[in-house]
Structure 1
Amino acid sequence: MKFSLNNQAFETELSYGNLTISGEDEHGFRPFALLVSSIAGCSGGVLRKIMEKQRIDFKDILIEADIERNEAEANRIEKIAMHFTVYADTLSQEKAEKALAISSKNCSMVQSVKGSIEIVETIEVIPAKGK
């Protein structure tokens, strides 16, 4: 990957499109948001694949991420708490929790920050009817 400075932001060209990164909201995506997004996107994607392999019928997955940062240490991210809501009619809470545990062990982004950022994952199942 190559990044070039363009005014107030760094840019890179990826296969899906250009990515603009800046510490200021008005100039691009903020680095902390990209880090959290990569962890949530990876974890959610692995969870989806696991549920599909287990032939679990689901309508949607929603991920909410709460971040704790330490201002005294360069505003570093210390904890990411992700809550997964799976909309499914026949999925038990126990099976959802087992699938989430497997996804955490197989998500490269979660494993990459293991030991430096606390990752907490919870999951709930809501009936898909009406979703």
Structure 2
Amino acid sequence: MEFKMKDGGFFLELPYGRLDISGDEEYGFRPYQLLVSSLAVCSGGILRSILEKMRLDVQDIQITADAERNKEIANRVEKVSLHFKIIGRGLHEDKIKKAMDLTRKNCSMVQSVKGSIEVAETFEVIEG
């Protein structure tokens, strides 16, 4: 990846589009937003794949992500909370819990921040 400087930040050209990154939301995505998005979407993609392999009838997965930052230490991200709303038919919480455990173990982004950023996952099952 090659990042190029622009007014207010940097950008990256990718095959599917341009990614603008800046500490100021006026000029692009903030770095912490990309970090949190990486954790959420990596987890969501792995979870989706596991649920499909389990042959569960999942119609939608919605993820809410929140970050806790420490203003005292460079405003670093210390905790990311991910809440998954799993919408489908005939879903059992014990199977979803097993899938969530496998997701944590197999998400490269969650494993990459292990020991430095706490990642807390919760879920709810919604009959669809």
For normalisation by structure 1, the TM-score amounts to: 0.95
**Gaps (5+ residues) in structure 2?**
none
Output the CA distance in 1 between the equivalents of 2:44 and 2:117. Answer: 18
1:16 positional shift: 1.5
Output the CA distance in 2 between the equivalents of 1:29 and 1:105. Answer: 28
Output the CA distance in 2 between the equivalents of 1:33 and 1:104. Answer: 20
1:65 positional shift: 1.0
* Residue aligning to 2:52: 52
- One-letter code aligned to 2:36: V
Tell me the SS of whatever aligns to 1:88: strand
Instruction: Please report the RMSD computed on the Cα atoms of aligned residues, expressed in angstroms.
Output: 0.7
CA contact 1:69–1:75 (8 Å) conserved in 2: yes
* Residue aligning to 1:35: 35
Output the CA distance in 1 between the equivalents of 2:15 and 2:122. Answer: 32
Tell me the SS of whatever aligns to 1:58: strand
Output the CA distance in 1 between the equivalents of 2:14 and 2:53. Answer: 29
Output the CA distance in 2 between the equivalents of 1:11 and 1:69. Answer: 24
Tell me the SS of whatever aligns to 1:116: coil
Output the CA distance in 1 between the equivalents of 2:19 and 2:109. Answer: 19
For normalisation by structure 2, the TM-score amounts to: 0.98
CA displacement 1:83-102 (0-9 Å, x = unmatched):
11100121101111110110
Structure with the higher fraction of residues in strand conformation = 2
Output the CA distance in 2 between the equivalents of 1:52 and 1:67. Answer: 28
**Gaps (5+ residues) in structure 1?**
none
1:59 positional shift: 0.9
Identity %: 55
* Residue aligning to 1:123: 123
Output the CA distance in 1 between the equivalents of 2:89 and 2:96. Answer: 12
Tell me the SS of whatever aligns to 1:23: coil
* Residue aligning to 1:96: 96
Between Structure 1 and Structure 2, how many residues are aligned? Answer: 128
1:66 positional shift: 1.6
